[in-house]
Amino acid sequence: MTGTTRSSEGLEDRRKRLLFRCWHRGTREMDLILGRFADAEIASLSDAELTELEILLEVNDPDLYAAITGDKVLPADVTGALFARIKAYPIADRDV
């Protein structure tokens, strides 16, 4: 799998923008991690979680990737409950 499997049809503008940003990070690794999470969860995230995601997307790719892999610790204001869900989300293809 190399891209989104979810259509943005039916999503409000904020969710559409976040879905796009999750799939267009700048590094393929982060596209896959955040994009797959967003495909599965974007429609059900609360407003507070959407805000958390917006804050998380401001972190640069190398730092965010290092935090997800456990090589770096990000500030607590960035790594809330949503970050923990993203970090725990399976990133491997389910078909393989």
Q: For 38-85, what is each residue's pLDDT tens digit?
A: 999 999 999 999 999 999 999 999 999 999 999 999 999 899 999 999
Res 94: pLDDT: 52
Q: How far apart are the first and last CA of the chain?
A: 10
User: 65: closest CA among 33, 35, 90?
Assistant: 33
Q: pLDDT digits over 83-95, tens only? A: 999 999 986 665 4
User: 52: closest CA among 24, 86, 27?
Assistant: 86
Sorted by sequence, the CB contacts under 8 Å of residue 39 that are 6+ apart come out as 4, 5, 6, 19
Res 1: pLDDT: 44
Res 3: pLDDT: 61
Considering all CA atoms of the chain, what is the largest pairwise distance in Å, rounded to the nearest integer?
Answer: 37
